[in-house]
Amino acid sequence: MLGAPGAGKGTQAKRVAQAQGQPHISTGDIFRDHLQRDTALGKQVRLYLESGRLVPDTLVCEVVADRITEGDCADGYVLDGFPRSLPQAEALDQRLEGQGEQVAVAINLEVPDDEIIERLTARRHCPECGAIYNTKFRPPRRPGFCDKDQDVALVQRSDDKEQTIRERLRIYHETTKPILAFYEKKGVLRSVPGTGLSPDEVFANIEDVLSGLGVAKVS
Ligand code: AMP
């Protein structure tokens, strides 16, 4: 699942993974988990995450390589937030090729920058269950609290402050966007508009893409 930060990758990737019965692998979630548990990896990536910069390719690729060799990935998986640079896309490709596998589809969620900034400054999540809300577009039933874990106060990601968002967008355009051409060349890129539509409508469009490609496992 490709797209700028805040394009809705996390929300859509989770839904696709659920529909496909495949694990959802978010490198951002993996790093945040390590940060919270203050592991050795957490210490290594803290500064990158806090400043909105990309974690070095070799480190990210190692984390992903470890994760995709776990048993639950044998039947495919949904990557969210990876790859984010050309070297990462190439490393993934090489690794998959070595196993006789390939990326089935790269879905690009298209959202303009000004909407990204508006969305991300209003993004909140539940630290318990990970549910994502938006104070403007998808508010929780009780302001400030999770719908599921009703006593848990929602929090804002530390990298969702406007200055950090602008830096993340700059990096996205400079470093991440070139991978769209990489997947386009391979014939697996599919762009889906991620703006002006509800998350359900975006998901319906993604499902259409997956069925059209014969990738969907569950109709
Ligand atoms: P995300 O939740 O996907 O927005 O990721 C949060 C942060 O984790 C990013 O701003 C980066 O600092 C780091 N990160 C996540 N995935 C990657 C990746 N594939 N390459 C480099 N850094 C990453």
pLDDT at residue 217 in the model: 66
Two tokens, residue 176: 């991440």
Residue 109, beta-bridge partner list = 3, 192
Q: Are 61 and 88 in contact (CB under 8 A)?
A: yes
pLDDT at 144 over 60: yes
* Atom number, ligand 1, closest to the C-alpha of residue 84: 19
* Atom number, ligand 1, closest to the C-alpha of residue 88: 19
* Atom number, ligand 1, closest to the C-alpha of residue 48: 12
Cβ neighbors of 8 (< 8 A, separation 6 or more) are 109, 111, 194, 199, 202
pLDDT at residue 190 in the model: 96
Distance from C-alpha of 149 to C-alpha of 191, rounded to nearest angstrom: 34
Distance from C-alpha of 213 to C-alpha of 174, rounded to nearest angstrom: 30
Quickly state the pLDDT bin for 215 (edges 50, 70, 90): confident
Q: Which of 195, 197, 26, 175 is nearest to 113 (CA)?
A: 195
Cβ neighbors of 192 (< 8 A, separation 6 or more) are 107, 108, 109, 110, 202, 205, 206, 209
Supply the DSSP string of 32-89, one letter for each residue: HHHHHHT-HHHHHHHHHHHHTPPPPHHHHHHHHHHHHTSGGGTT--EEES---SHHHH
Q: Is 123 a catalytic residue?
A: yes
**DSSP symbol at 105:** -
Query: How confident is the model over 203-207, as a mean pLDDT?
Result: 96
* Atom number, ligand 1, closest to the C-alpha of residue 6: 4
Quickly state the pLDDT bin for 219 (edges 50, 70, 90): very low
Cis peptide before 83 (omega within 30 of 0): yes
pLDDT at 218 over 50: yes
- The predicted-structure confidence for 31-65, as pLDDT tens digits, reads as follows 999 999 999 999 999 999 988 899 999 999 999 99
**DSSP symbol at 196:** S
Choose the catalytic residue: 9, 14, 32, 119. 9
Percentage of the chain modeled with pLDDT above 70: 99
Ligand 1: residue of 2, 25, 84 to mutate (most ligand atoms within 8 A of CB) is 84
What is the distance in A from the centroid of ligand 1 to the CA of 10? Answer: 12
Query: How confident is the model over 113-122, as a mean pLDDT?
Result: 90
- The predicted-structure confidence for 148-175, as pLDDT tens digits, reads as follows 999 999 999 888 888 889 999 999 999 9
Average pLDDT of the residues of the chain: 93
Q: Is 37 a catalytic residue?
A: no
Choose the catalytic residue: 14, 32, 124, 168. 168
The amino acid sitting at 2 is: L
Distance from C-alpha of 207 to C-alpha of 219, rounded to nearest angstrom: 8
Distance from C-alpha of 143 to C-alpha of 139, rounded to nearest angstrom: 7
**Is 0.85 topped by the overall pTM?**
yes
pLDDT at 85 over 90: yes
- The predicted-structure confidence for 94-114, as pLDDT tens digits, reads as follows 999 998 999 999 999 999 999
pLDDT at residue 159 in the model: 85
Pocket lining: 172 vs ligand 1, CB cutoff 6 Å: no
What is the distance in A from the centroid of ligand 1 to the CA of 28? Answer: 5
pLDDT at residue 142 in the model: 96
pLDDT at residue 181 in the model: 96
Ligand 1: residue of 2, 11, 31 to mutate (most ligand atoms within 8 A of CB) is 31
Q: Which of 117, 113, 88, 81 is nearest to 2 (CA)?
A: 81
The amino acid sitting at 169 is: L
Pocket lining: 4 vs ligand 1, CB cutoff 6 Å: no
